[in-house]
A and B are shown apart, each in its own frame.
Chain A
Amino acid sequence: DAGITQSPRHKVTETGTPVTLRCHQTENHRYMYWYRQDPGHGLRLIHYSYGVKDTDKGEVSDGYSVSRSKTEDFLLTLESATSSQTSVYFCAISEETISNEQFFGPGTRLTVL
């Protein structure tokens, strides 16, 4: 299994509070991604990174920011959490290969009350 960990694994927070989710990899892969998973929507890309300090927006980036100061860490921040951001968040990594196969972390379940 690819070495990907996410922390925390579960979090309950209140509307309006800031939240940061962490993704850590031990594979030294260049690309890292954040997805959210909601029933009926599959997984949707929030942000991704193609190198240290290099990030770009995905399909559902509003209300989220990311940072990548080291190859191994990719942080997802909700500046002011809303109930619509209640979801399961997955981090993924990939090497720079033509097929760009992605490997997923175990997920973080976030509940915003």
Chain B
Amino acid sequence: AQSVTQPDIHITVSEGASLELRCNYSYGATPYLFWYVQSPGQGLQLLLKYFSGDTLVQGIKGFEAEFKRSQSSFNLRKPSVHWSDAAEYFCAVNAGGTSYGKLTFGQGTILTVHP
């Protein structure tokens, strides 16, 4: 069965600093990979996705993520964090095939941004 691990429950950074949120997945083939963001009291918004092609994908709000097959990772990055980026971030995997449509989420990483 597919699984997703976000090792960091809570990360604190200063505004303007760079950010990297980690995501590792467990699945035999290349899955479809997603990063979602959730602001307090809100639903989830898709930041970016990967399912084939260039392993470095660009998303909204200045975020990017890199798929590394050898490390089973899909880490999210941003070069300079803004206070409005404070939120909870979720990595998700869709294995496709018979699991078509079923997203498996990581536990989430809460991002706090200090001024």
Contacts and interface: CB of A to CB of B under 8 A. Distances in A.
Contacts of B105: 42-44
B90 A42 contact: yes
Interface stretch (B12-20, B66-74, B94-102): B94-102
- Interface size class on chain B is 20 to 34
A92 B92 CA distance: 14
Interface string B6-31: 10010000000000000000000000
B101 A101 contact: no
Interface string B71-113: 0000000000000000000101010100011111111100000
Given A100-B94, A101-B34, A101-B49, A45 B103 contact: yes
A101 B107 contact: no
Contacts of B106: 42
Interface of A: 31, 33, 40-45, 48, 50, 58-59, 90, 92, 94, 98-107
